[in-house]
Amino acid sequence: MNFNLSEQQRMLQKAAKDFASKLIKPQAAEIDASGQFPFELAKEIGKRGYQGLPYPTEYGGGGAGYFGYALALEQLCQVSMTVGAIMAINTVPQEAIIRFGSEEQKKRLLAPLARGEKLGGIAFTEAETGSDPQAITTTSKKSGDGYIINGQKQFVALAPAANLTLVFAKGEGKGLNALVIDTASEGYNVREPCQTMGLKGLGTSVVYLDDVRVPGENLLGEEGQGFDILREAISLGRLGAAVEGVAVAQAALDIAIDYAKQRKAMGKPIAKLPTIQWHLAEMASRIEAARLLVYRAAFARDQGPDIKYESSLAKLFASRIAVEVTDMAMQVGGSYGTMTTMPLERLYRDAKMTEIYVGISEIQRNIIAERLIE
Ligand SMILES: Cc1cc2nc3c(=O)[nH]c(=O)nc-3n(C[C@H](O)[C@H](O)[C@H](O)COP(=O)(O)OP(=O)(O)OC[C@H]3O[C@@H](n4cnc5c(N)ncnc54)[C@H](O)[C@@H]3O)c2cc1C
């Protein structure tokens, strides 16, 4: 592994940082406070080519690879985890299509997502299950040359803005089907927004699927292959959540350092106190370790398709340190750290989300252990 960035990767990282600080940063607090999905920013991410960064240019992508994707995503998430998460989640259906779609599906379904002309979501979670896709009750029944979908999906991010959703539904035989649904289809209804403590403004909603007709050409892979498709595509979602964890932790450390240099106690900056220095050093070492795991997982995806182990390791660790680091930053910030006028409390709330969404930490441990004892 060589993490010496190429000139191109450095430019990508810098462009993402500039974009984030000029366009996203001024809106970050408002997106969190209002909980409204940032439609215009989502379009802007697409226009600037961030939506399909890892994918080949022949399918509308940026050709930057997964490592390039992780570098850019990290910059966006440092400023607003919600906005970064829009980019990360939109990549999951793209990953499913590039891995399991036919050539025709890559051109018809992947290219508009990668070019940023359309936005895509993913829907596997239901009211009664998130961690066990085998318990999914949404059904897909054959009808003519297509399928009729019925069910209800919980916590569907990007729902108010998505044009396509990758839905996982029980087939008539064994296993799940993975179907790309046009959200303008009759019977596809976005209902209650979910009021989550972090990742506000992600458009996380309940989606009802009532007799939704899906053409057969939108089935990814084979009938019954949905579980495999979910496991593979979601591992890229986990890489995204791990990047988010590193980014919020880094943002919290940067704020804590600035604050510690300015805030005085007993006549000197608190940055001179050993207890504060201990916090800052702990934060930095945990972030650096998590970043290496994250970069390693992105690098591994550039070498080959299966990163279930690497992305689970990265997500488990990065999400944990995100919670620990934002907690320490709050401690450095004292009462001011808890105020909504400072972004620390937003980072603290967002950090916890990374341990839960795109698969809880317990599931990451199961995946890691499975590989260790196979
Ligand atoms: C902001 C946000 C956005 C989301 N976006 C999407 C989306 O776009 N699409 C989508 O489909 N879903 C989405 N989700 C759903 C999310 O991915 C799931 O909620 C998550 O995977 C956890 O599932 P659960 O809530 O059903 O937890 P459960 O499965 O009910 O788990 C609850 C607890 O039970 C224990 N547990 C459960 N299973 C096991 C096990 N096998 N081994 C050990 N312990 C276990 C754990 O302690 C776990 O924390 C989103 C959620 C949020 C909060």
Mean residue pLDDT of the chain comes to 97
DSSP category for residue 221 = S
Q: Kindly calculate the radius of gyration of the chain based on its CA atoms and give it in whole angstroms.
A: 21
- The token pair that represents 10 in the structure block: 């450095």
Inform me whether the pLDDT recorded for 305 exceeds 80. yes
- The token pair that represents 317 in the structure block: 């660790």
The pLDDT of residue 188: 98
Inform me whether the pLDDT recorded for 59 exceeds 90. yes
Closest ligand 1 atom to residue 158 Cα is 8
Average pLDDT over residues 320-339: 97
| Burial (CB count within 10 angstroms: exposed 0-12, middle 13-18, buried 19+), residue 341 | exposed
Of 193, 187, 194, the C-alpha closest to 208 is 187
- Coil, strand or helix: which one is 64? coil
Name the band, by pLDDT with cuts 50, 70 and 90, for residue 1: low
Distance, C-alpha 96 to centroid of its chain = 14
Residue 33 to residue 263: CA distance in whole angstroms? 26
Superfamily of domain 120-224: Butyryl-CoA Dehydrogenase, subunit A, domain 2 (2.40.110.10)
Distance, C-alpha 68 to centroid of its chain = 15
Dihedral sign for Cα 152, 153, 154, 160, please.
Answer: negative
Average pLDDT over residues 329-347: 96
CB atoms within 10 A of CB 46: 22
From ligand 1's centre to the CA of 226, what distance in Å?
18
Is 1.20.1250.20 the CATH classification of the domain at 227-372? Answer: no
Question: 356 in ligand 1 pocket by Cβ < 6 Å?
Answer: yes
Distance, C-alpha 153 to centroid of its chain = 18
Question: 329 in ligand 1 pocket by Cβ < 6 Å?
Answer: no
Which residue bears the tokens 């990668």? 114
274-303 vs 65-79: helix crossing angle, rounded to 10: 150
Better pLDDT: 345 or 4: 345
Question: Which residue, judged by its Cα, is nearest atom 51 of ligand 1?
Answer: 357
From ligand 1's centre to the CA of 55, what distance in Å?
28
Name the band, by pLDDT with cuts 50, 70 and 90, for residue 287: very high
- Decide the pairing of beta strands 176-182 and 164-170: antiparallel
- Coil, strand or helix: which one is 199? coil
> In this prediction, what percent of the chain has a pLDDT beyond 90?
97
Of 309, 318, 288, 324, the C-alpha closest to 365 is 309
What is the H or E stretch that residue 210 is in?
strand 205-215
Name the band, by pLDDT with cuts 50, 70 and 90, for residue 304: very high
Residue 181 to residue 109: CA distance in whole angstroms? 10
Residue 273 to residue 283: CA distance in whole angstroms? 16
The pLDDT of residue 2: 65
Over residues 192-236, the pLDDT tens digits come to: 899 999 999 999 999 999 999 999 999 999 999 999 999 999 999
From ligand 1's centre to the CA of 362, what distance in Å?
10
Q: Are 241 and 88 in contact (CB under 8 A)?
A: yes
Average pLDDT over residues 239-267: 98
Inform me whether the pLDDT recorded for 173 exceeds 90. no
Average pLDDT over residues 5-20: 97
Question: 366 in ligand 1 pocket by Cβ < 6 Å?
Answer: yes
Is 3.40.50.300 the CATH classification of the domain at 7-114? Answer: no
The CA–CA distances, whole Å, from 351 to 46, 323, 330, 342, 348 equal 25, 5, 12, 15, 5
The pLDDT of residue 343: 96
Question: 167 in ligand 1 pocket by Cβ < 6 Å?
Answer: no
From ligand 1's centre to the CA of 355, what distance in Å?
9
Average pLDDT over residues 128-143: 94
Average pLDDT over residues 161-166: 98
Residue 347 main-chain phi, psi, to 5 deg:
-65, -40
Inform me whether the pLDDT recorded for 329 exceeds 70. yes
The pLDDT of residue 211: 98
Question: Which residue, judged by its Cα, is nearest atom 13 of ligand 1?
Answer: 155
Q: pTM of the entire structure?
A: 0.97
The pLDDT of residue 289: 98
Fill in the amino acid letter for 49. G
Is 227-372 the same fold as 120-224? no
Inform me whether the pLDDT recorded for 76 exceeds 90. yes
* 202 conformational bin, left if phi > 0, alpha if psi -120 to 50, beta if neither: alpha
Question: 241 in ligand 1 pocket by Cβ < 6 Å?
Answer: no
Longest Cα–Cα distance in the chain: 79
Domain ranges of the chain: 7-114, 120-224, 227-372
Q: Which of 131, 132, 312 to mutate to test the pocket of ligand 1 (most atoms within 8 A of CB)?
A: 131
- The token pair that represents 248 in the structure block: 């919020």
- The token pair that represents 61 in the structure block: 């992508």
